[in-house]
Amino acid sequence: MEKNALFSIIHALCEKNSIKGIKHQAFIDRFIGNAQLLHYLFSQLYSKREDFDPVFYQMLEVIVKAYTERDSQFLKRDEQKQKEGTWFLNRDLVGMSLYVDRFAGSLSTMPEKLEYLKELGISLVHLMPLFESPKGASDGGYAVSNYRVINKRFGTLDDLKTLQQSLQAKEMYMMIDIVLNHTSNQHEWANKARQGDAYYQDFYYTYDDRSIPDQMEITMPDVFPESSPGSFSYDEKMNKWVMSVFHNYQWDLNFKNPQVLKIMLDTIFFYANLGVDILRIDAPAFIWKQMGTTCQNLPEAHTILQFIKVAVEVATPGMAILGEAIVAPKQILEYFGKGFFTNHECDLAYNATQMALQWDALATTDTRNMLANQHTILQKPNGTTWINYTRCHDDIGLGFEDYYIEQIGYNPYLHREYLKNYLGGRLVSSPSSGDLFGVNPKTNDARISGTLASLCGLEKAINKNDTEAIQTSIDKILLMQANSVLLGGIPMIFYGDEFGYTNDYSYLEDPGKSYDNRWMHRPKIDWKKNAKVKVNGTVENRIFKGLQALLKIRKKHTVFNDSNNVQWLESQNRSVVGFKRTLKEKQVFCLFNYSPEPQNLTFYAFHSIKNEVKKLYNLYDDSYTAIGKDHEFLSFKPYQFYVFLAEKK
């Protein structure tokens, strides 16, 4: 479309919706400024369609509607965030991911728990899926049957709005999910499709027989090989096969149909206008499908995300986008956008590679794989940031590159076997108690379930009543947290991990959950146990206090803002890994011993600062260490870490 014609359309659309005058100038400027980009991205996806122009116009209408429906307080917040610059790079942001019902009971009792979260140092709350989802076939809420009605179990939309206001009053941020890739097979659209409505059948990938599904399955990996093998399910009523990449009750949306993108964009804005600060886009790697491919990470999936990002930047710019792409390390980076679109796709992504590498280091006591992979991880573009975490509601995948494993001298297959055995409860001598998830007999792939505490040995230690082993597991938990809290990005704590919840096996008694052992690490909080965080010397208290101290350090020092200022130190001791964070004159060294044995590191590790710096101040325990000669040693206790501020005097 010719530039001026496009601008005229936008001006007319704004006029029609009474968007004129100085008050709206910033929006109009953003809209006009991005119009060609929106058009370009949309044409990358749909230019071959005859209805391209009217459908594109409908997209512009969705954007205008989002802006006109935006509450004035959120418009102000947008402005404020824009003034702050890239607000989500700030060290103040520390998240917790939680299920409202399992953590607080309901949305209406959530506000009472905010003080507890604040006390720990949390400023961002990720509310796990809240919208309607059928009982027993919900995938923890990731099978949505209504995107606009809150599941009764949690409360109402008004309760969510009240919670948002309580968060905002406490200067806390809210994050929720949009499940873009699929709906529940009980969503109204699925029901209409089932009844034979062709309009809604086109919302999904439906086939009369198995010929196309059979061909596609040749190249599509199984996501849940145990509970839902294959990527298609047969629907009796419709008498058709439907694509269902995840569980058979999760039907994949067909983004080749622009009406799907339109309705999901409108839903994204509905969430933005609830005051969401960070929108977690669930499973974005899967949103475009193509015969003969893995149907993951396809270029069109990126184009859709870029289109969403630009639309959000125009209408609701205060909402940042997090892409939940748990894919190979190099592919994760592409979700930040590449080439011209660098920094114009997802603002945030999960640092799934680093997370898995920390477990790798803990299980092997060898940090070289972690260090080698930084070559990739550090390519994160300026202005974007990581979500760093040790555990979340999902399993731990070991999807890092074989190449680096080989480089450090291990056989990738045997290496992964060892990790699965050690963490996944298959090795009697291992202190970890986890389980294998998603075991695929065809590929021998498997991931790992278990809470942070159980995987760090706390469950076995408590069962044996072994005081020393309990202390060791606490040290491991805090080492893991320290590594992810001090790195560049937003730490995301998983609820329950802040005070050492061990695996909960009660899911086995619930038929809606028993087929999915990820529920073992999704505890129901017992606030009596939780009260122990205040009782000095308890396990809960030691873990909580340690994490709280780490979060305080992070908050206090500007060096922890994410300005891509992480520099990993050369390896001298394979069990000790470390990085330096620098801001102008200030330098902080974070060093981690992943071994159950004491370790030494020569002071040569600090050679870059040795001429100016005399002392290292440990921010974690308020102690000083004088820098020794190059051949002298800094000693580590088992699983000890240091957070050293380099001091000149």
Catalytic status, residue 282: yes
Contact 320, 277 (CB under 8 A): yes
- Give the CA angle between residues 360, 365, 369 to the nearest 5°: 50
CB closer to ligand GLC, 101 vs 282? 282
> DSSP E strands: which ranges in 563-626?
566-568, 576-583, 586-593, 599-602, 615-618, 623-626
Minimum distance between the CB of residue 554 and ligand GLC, rounded to whole angstroms? Answer: 25
Contacting positions for ligand GLC (CB under 6 A): 139-140, 142, 179, 246, 282-283, 324, 393-394
Minimum distance between the CB of residue 401 and ligand GLC, rounded to whole angstroms? Answer: 21
CB closer to ligand GLC, 355 vs 634? 355
Among 2, 154, 59, 101, which residue's Cα sits nearest to residue 523? 101
DSSP class per residue in 494-560:
ETTGGGT----GGGGG-TTTTT-GGGGGSPPP-HHHHGGGGSTTSHHHHHHHHHHHHHHHHHH-GGG
Q: Which residues of 454-469 are buried (b: 16+ CB within 10 A; e: fewer)?
A: bbbbbbbbbeeeeeeb
CB closer to ligand GLC, 38 vs 174? 174
Count how many residues are written for the chain. Answer: 649
DSSP class per residue in 71-122:
-HHHHHHHHHHHHHSSGGGSTT--EEEE-HHHHTSSGGGTGGGHHHHHHHT-
Which residues lie across from 490 on neighbouring strands? 387
CB closer to ligand GLC, 159 vs 394? 394
Q: What is the 3-state secondary structure (H, E, C) of 618-642?
A: ECCCCEEEECCCCCCEEEECCCCEE
| CA dihedral angle for residue 556, residue 562, residue 568, residue 574, rounded to 10 degrees | 70
Spatial CB neighbours of 363, under 8 Å, sequence gap ≥ 6 = 418, 419, 422, 423, 430, 432
**Position with the least CB separation from ligand GLC:** 142
Minimum distance between the CB of residue 139 and ligand GLC, rounded to whole angstroms? Answer: 5
Minimum distance between the CB of residue 541 and ligand GLC, rounded to whole angstroms? Answer: 31
Amino acid at 53: D
Minimum distance between the CB of residue 628 and ligand GLC, rounded to whole angstroms? Answer: 47
Q: If you search the block for the tokens 């391209």, which residue do you land on?
A: 52
Minimum distance between the CB of residue 311 and ligand GLC, rounded to whole angstroms? Answer: 23
CB closer to ligand GLC, 244 vs 369? 244
Minimum distance between the CB of residue 282 and ligand GLC, rounded to whole angstroms? Answer: 5
End-to-end CA distance of the chain: 65
Catalytic status, residue 612: no
Minimum distance between the CB of residue 363 and ligand GLC, rounded to whole angstroms? Answer: 23
Distance, in Å, from the CA atom of 28 to the CA atom of 172, rounded to the nearest integer, reads: 29
Q: Which of 101, 277, 313, 324 is catalytic?
A: 324
Minimum distance between the CB of residue 154 and ligand GLC, rounded to whole angstroms? Answer: 17
CB closer to ligand GLC, 97 vs 303? 97
CB closer to ligand GLC, 258 vs 397? 397
Amino acid at 227: S
CB closer to ligand GLC, 253 vs 283? 283
Q: Which of 235, 282, 345, 366 is catalytic?
A: 282
CB closer to ligand GLC, 179 vs 482? 179
Distance, in Å, from the CA atom of 39 to the CA atom of 99, rounded to the nearest integer, reads: 38
Spatial CB neighbours of 568, under 8 Å, sequence gap ≥ 6 = 371, 374, 378, 577, 578, 579, 580
Spatial CB neighbours of 325, under 8 Å, sequence gap ≥ 6 = 284, 285, 297, 331, 332, 335, 346, 349, 350
Active-site residue set: 282, 324
